[in-house]
Structure formats: structure tokens, C-alpha cells
Structure 1
Amino acid sequence: MLRQQILALASLVFLPGLAAAQNAPSDGEETNRWSGTAEMSALATSGNSDTRTFGLGGEVVFDPGTWKWLARVAYVETEADDVLRVRSQSALLEASRTMSKRLDMYGRGGYLRDLFAGIERRLTTEAGLAYQVISTEPHSLQLLGGGGFIREQRLAGDGLSLATTNATGRYTWALTETSALTEEAAFVADLSTGDNWRFSNELAATAALSNRLSLKVSHKLSYLNEPVPGFRKTDTILAAALVANF
């Protein structure tokens, strides 16, 4: 089952890029409409305790002009003494349309299964506007604001159905031609009671090893103000990954 899940995630990451390469037109501008990354991280220890952490992820972007499409997947699992302890799977599909030089409208849907936090399944939908606050190199900052809906099934306690308002910030700092610092922070407010809000933040530094390979170090924080019973409010993941660009 584990191998099937890994192969499925790998297919989602690599197949769009392969399809784009096979069907790419001769014109360079057409080829540049497709871009993406695929990454893998692994950590193992042995001795008094045998542990293994494995991560797989990727992102594909199709940008033909007025519309822009983004697909993102991620998978993380941890084993200790040959017993699976925790597992997290996520997927995101986002579409945006240019309204002006700085303003876009967007819509996106997401899936999350996060046993680290006791989330058996979470489905999200969101729509709103995105504004490019800074677009002067080496800095880029985009702010997104909108509304959405969450359906969440938990390992303990009742399931949730929430109407939400959402705010996201995406920042990029091109440190050099071959390295960059990126950060994406998201806040989700519960419109029902106001208590079940959540926050996430991912900070990453990437440095190129070659034209196609990069090294990425990232820190991800997830916070639930009303966590699943028996689980903590905060989860963090610190990872180092090898990233392939296409």
C-alpha cells in the first residue's frame, strides 16, 4: 500500500512535466508555459532506536497567459522500530486569472490527511482576489484574500463544517541568481464561532547545485486553535530536500 501511494504521488509530480516535454511546441515561449519542481527528503537513525522519515513533494505550474494553473502535492511519513507512527498527505489545485497588472482573481481546492495532527481528512475550497504588492526584483510579495468552506473529519471528536475567511501572503527574495528565500503564510478564520481559527507558515531557503538540481531547507509550522482532542495545537516539520527543476 505504501509503495502504491508513493508511486501515485510521484506520478502526479512527474507525469505533467513529461507530457509537457513530449507535446512541447518548437517555439521557446510555448515551452516556458510549463514549469515545476519535484523534491525528495529522507532521514534515518539506528542504534537504540531505529527511525526513518521520508518525504516526497512537487509542484507544476501552467501559465499560458491570462489564466494560470498551479498543482501541488506533498507526502511525509515517519517510522520507528519498523512501525508506522505518523503520515501526512496533501494536495492543492489553484487557478487564477489576471484582472490587471497587479490584481488577479483566484479559486482553489485542497485535500489534507494529517495523522500528525489527528486529521483523518480535510477538504477545502476558497475563492477571492490576489494583489501583487511588490514586484521589484529581488523581492516579490503577493497577498490573497477570500472566503471558503472546510469539511474536516477527525480521528477523535466530531467532524467539522466551517465557513471561513482566508488571508495568504507569498514572499520571495532572490538572494542571488541561484538561491532564494521563500515564505508562505496563511490564516483561516472561522466565521461560525471565531474560535476554530488556524494558521500555517512555511519558510524555505533554496540553493542551486546545478542547472536542474537544488538543495532546499524548509521549516513548516501548523497551528490549530481548537486541535483534535488528545493532540497539541502546534506541529512543525524541519526538512532538507533534493529538488529537481523542470
Structure 2
Amino acid sequence: MKKYLKLILVICAFSSLVYAKETENRWKVHAELSYVKTSGNSETETFASKIEGNRDYNGTRVKLKGEFLYGKADKRENTNKLNLSGRLERVVFNKFFGFLQDDYYRDKFSGYDYRNVLSAGLGYDIFKTEKHKLKGMGSLGYAVEQYKAGGSEDYPTGGLNLDYVWDIKENLRFKQELKYETDLQKTDVYFLNSNTAFEVKINGNLSLGVGLKIAYQNKPPSPDIKKTDTTFLTSLIVDF
């Protein structure tokens, strides 16, 4: 439990830093927290957190995101994931923008000590209305992987992203993120990620959320690792 408290303190410190007001603009922060513990015939414990910081100022947009998922069953660790990403966008013409992005993944039970992908690309705000927002992006990059069983690999990558937000009602929001990434040297090595979520607002800052995450890797580092990871979570959400 101590590790959870430390992580919460880090999240709070990061939130305080990101939330600091500036003269004409400030960061927007989205934080999610989920914790489940059961005991009796079986003992399980799951902790998940997510924090996003977004800033949009004069055609320059910055997005920072961190996600952590940890789980135990009958006192044995069975989940340990950390995802960190940062993206810098700059509008170049009308709805077109260029971007630089860095993604860091650590997943103890998917065969990786870590994956780091540095990429650059172009994006397009397909539409942006009061209720609907859809953004598409294409990128080229370079990946470095360190495997749990030993060894490493690096290779050029290509990626496609779709991000969609639908404000169904004043207090109800739907989000869908899709991401495809492939090894440009060996196209049978690719990754598909889907993140689907509904958020119900309780008051001005608090919401409840349910989300389904699906992570698929077509060619895992080891044959005993499953290709698909599925995570379903309910979370308390704070936006400020």
C-alpha cells in the first residue's frame, strides 16, 4: 500500500505544477483513480491511475499523459504496467498540424523491460464542433525495445492514430482512441491499441468513468505471452 501512497503523492505534485495559473492560459488536468480490494475465498487487489495535462496556446498544443496499473491475486503480482507519453503539436495550416511525440512503455508481464518510441508526423483535425471532435494522425519514428528474457532490438516504425470525443449530453461524454503501430522492416510485427470510455459528470469537477482497454501485439517477444491484454476499470475522475 505504501507504493500506492507514494504514487498518489507524485500525481498530486504533478497536478499542482500543471495547474499553476499563467497570465493568459493554463493547463487543463484530467486525473483518474481506481482501487479495488477483495478478501475471503480469494484475495485480489487492483490499483490504476491516469493523469493528463493539456495546454493549447496560439497554435501550439502540448499533451502529457501517464498511466499506471498494478494488480495482485492471492498475494502474487499479476499486473504491472506503466505508460508515459508526451506530444508537442503545432498548427501549420488551417486544420493541419505537425507533431513530435515520445512514448515509453513498461509492462512486466508482456515480455518487455521497456519500449521507447520517438516519432514525428502530421495530423488533421477532421472535425471539431460543440459535440464532436475527431483527430487523425500519421507518423514515422524509431523504437527501442529491451526484452524481459534478455536482448534488445531497435527499428523504424510507422503509426496511425484516431482520437474521438462525443459530448452526448451535458453530463455524459464518450471517448474512443485507436492506435496502430508497425515495424517498417518486418510488417508482421505490429501493435493495435483501443481505449473506449464513458464519463458521467457528478458536479463541476468530479465524474465517474468506465473504460475498456484492449492492447494487441501480433508477435510477442516470447511464445508463452498472450497476444491480447484486456482491462476494464471504473474510476473516479477529477477535471480542473
Q: Same fold (TM over 0.5)?
A: yes
Number of equivalences:
239
Asked if 1:219 corresponds to 2:218, the answer is: no
Instruction: Judging by fraction of residues, say which structure has more strand.
Output: 2
Q: Is the 8 A contact 1:102 1:133 kept in 2?
A: yes
- 1:14 is matched with 12
Structure 1 distance, partners of 2:46, 2:105, is: 19
- 1:162 is matched with 155
Structure 2 distance, partners of 1:218, 1:4, is: 24
| Aligned equivalent of 2:32, options 39, 46, 52 | 39
- 2:140 is matched with 147
Please provide the CA RMSD for this pair. 1.8
User: After TM superposition, what 4+ stretches of structure 1 lie above 3 angstroms from structure 2?
Assistant: 2-6, 13-17, 19-25
Q: Is the 8 A contact 1:17 1:35 kept in 2?
A: no
Q: Is the 8 A contact 1:9 1:73 kept in 2?
A: no
Structure 1 distance, partners of 2:12, 2:206, is: 15
Deviation at 1:206?
0.6
Task: Give CA-to-partner distance per residue, 1:9-54, whole Å, 9 cap, x none.
Answer: 652x4334423555443xxxx24x3101111101222222101011
SS in 2 for 1:242: strand
> Where do residues 22-33 of structure 1 align in structure 2 (5 Å cutoff)?
22-25=20-23, 30-31=24-25, 33=26
Asked if 1:231 corresponds to 2:232, the answer is: no
Deviation at 1:140?
1.3
Cα distance, 1:63–1:162 mapped onto 2, change above 3 Å: same
Deviation at 1:157?
5.9
Structure 2 distance, partners of 1:149, 1:38, is: 29
State which drifts further: 164-173 or 148-157: 148-157
Q: Is the 8 A contact 2:164 2:177 kept in 1?
A: yes
Which ranges in structure 2 are unaligned for 5 or more consecutive residues? none
Structure 2 distance, partners of 1:148, 1:20, is: 28
Asked if 1:58 corresponds to 2:51, the answer is: yes
Structure 1 distance, partners of 2:239, 2:95, is: 27
- What is the percentage of aligned positions where both structures have the same residue? 26
Q: Is the 8 A contact 2:21 2:27 kept in 1?
A: no
Asked if 1:119 corresponds to 2:118, the answer is: no
Which ranges in structure 1 are unaligned for 5 or more consecutive residues? none
> Where do residues 54-133 of structure 1 align in structure 2 (5 Å cutoff)?
54-133=47-126
Which letter does structure 1 place at the counterpart of 2:227?
A: K
Deviation at 1:60?
0.6
Cα distance, 1:20–1:142 mapped onto 2, change above 3 Å: closer
Deviation at 1:156?
2.6
